[in-house]
Amino acid sequence: MIGDEFRSDDVPAAERFAYWHDRMSGQMTGFSIRETETGAGTGGGDGAGFLSEELEIGLGGVRVASRRLSSVEMRRRSADDPKGLYQFLVPVQGALHTDWDGRAGVSRPGGMYFHDLTGLNALRCRPPDGREPFHTLTIDIPRESITLPHGSLRQLVGQDLPGDEGPGALLTGVVKHVLSSAEVYRPTDTARLGTAVLDLVHAHLAHQLESRTAQPALEPEHRQHALLVRVVDFMRHHLADPELTPQSVADAHHVSVSYLHRIFRAHTAGRETVAGWIRRQRLEHARRDLADPVLAAVPVHRIAARWGYTHAAAFTRSFRTAYGVTPRAYRHDTPPPPPDNGP
């Protein structure tokens, strides 16, 4: 089985909330956490009746979790955000009350609260009644894993997005399945599952951005954001095409190469070119394949070709420049996954 489980029943009653508090404090740095008196299994705030059942699974850089717990409240006490994460909170049972940058909101089953910790001031988990616990799914995504324009994403952060239709429903369904079927997966599956979840995260966020910018009269800045979302999505889905170049991207979107470079430089604050982005993404996908034990028998040149490299020597040079070792050495030195001991 993949993942880490925690049940408050395994801890002496009087220590349950304190134990869970210590676990969560490492994830919610800069927040105070307290038990409130409303909700299932609450012992009047003394921790004796606190309930928590959790399963966390690391899927490469992505982490997903299922959390059932009594009513709690978290409030910011410092400006720290050391993790640099985007997060979806997906209520399954109960309501999630939030304050993001002074904007109050409520997320209920069918929604997906999308946020980062930089603007989150308060979070309250409220069970549906006095008998059942609050239940939420969480999806943690490193900011650097999101290739969509972060400037555009600002219009979604701190918002309740739909989780019961379109790409949001697909994302929710896949995460629920992974969490409910953890015993059937092996450690070698985690990176592949993480890639699938990350693809759905991109699809959901891109869909939401396009929906919000698909208006007849948009400011030029919003039109640029909408175009950039389409451009990045197009490049992500054509990385395997050797003909993917700044010119082909510009042609596909009916803009000039100079205009493409201009909006891309604005997106990356001048830190990366279109060609550099394509190269970095191709190398990262190839690196993941080289680390995958299932693909250990696939020749390096075939993995290179899978991600758009037509010349093995060029791939080797680019890989060594990016990671400091050749593709063969990287594959040889990648440690094997931990043994699968079964459920």
Distance, CA of 310 to CA of 317 (rounded, Å) = 13
Token pair for 321: 């420049």
- pLDDT tens per residue across all 343 residues of the chain: 688 888 888 888 888 888 888 888 777 778 889 888 644 444 444 445 788 999 999 998 899 999 999 899 999 887 665 568 899 999 999 999 999 888 899 999 999 999 988 888 999 999 887 678 899 999 999 988 888 877 778 889 999 999 999 899 999 999 999 999 988 988 888 888 998 999 899 889 988 887 776 554 445 566 677 788 888 888 988 999 999 999 999 999 988 999 898 888 877 666 788 999 999 999 999 998 998 888 888 999 999 999 999 999 999 999 999 999 999 999 988 765 444 433 3
Give the three-class secondary structure for 30: coil
Angle, helices 257-268 vs 274-291, to 10°: value is 70
Q: Quick check: 236 and 281 in contact, CB under 8 A?
A: yes
Distance, CA of 153 to CA of 164 (rounded, Å) = 20
pTM confidence score? 0.72
Which residue from 103, 94, 178 is spatially nearest to 136, judged by alpha carbons?
Answer: 94
Beta carbons within 8 Å of 230's beta carbon, 6+ residues apart: 210, 253
Superfamily of domain 4-182: Jelly Rolls (2.60.120.10)
Q: Quick check: 47 and 75 in contact, CB under 8 A?
A: no
Token pair for 190: 């985690």
Q: Quick check: 86 and 147 in contact, CB under 8 A?
A: no
Q: Quick check: 141 and 147 in contact, CB under 8 A?
A: no
Which residue from 62, 89, 85, 65 is spatially nearest to 159, judged by alpha carbons?
Answer: 89
CATH topology for 219-343 is: Arc Repressor Mutant, subunit A (1.10.10)
Q: Quick check: 146 and 153 in contact, CB under 8 A?
A: yes
Token pair for 214: 């698909």
> Tokens 């705030």 label which residue?
45
Beta carbons within 8 Å of 20's beta carbon, 6+ residues apart: 6, 8, 50, 52, 69
259, β-bridge pairs: none
Give the three-class secondary structure for 163: coil
Distance, CA of 20 to CA of 149 (rounded, Å) = 36
Beta carbons within 8 Å of 268's beta carbon, 6+ residues apart: 277
Distance, CA of 207 to CA of 170 (rounded, Å) = 12
Domain segments of the chain: what residues?
Answer: 4-182, 219-343
Say yes or no: do domains 4-182 and 219-343 share a fold.
no
108, β-bridge pairs: none
Give the three-class secondary structure for 62: strand
**Which H or E run includes 207?**
helix 190-213
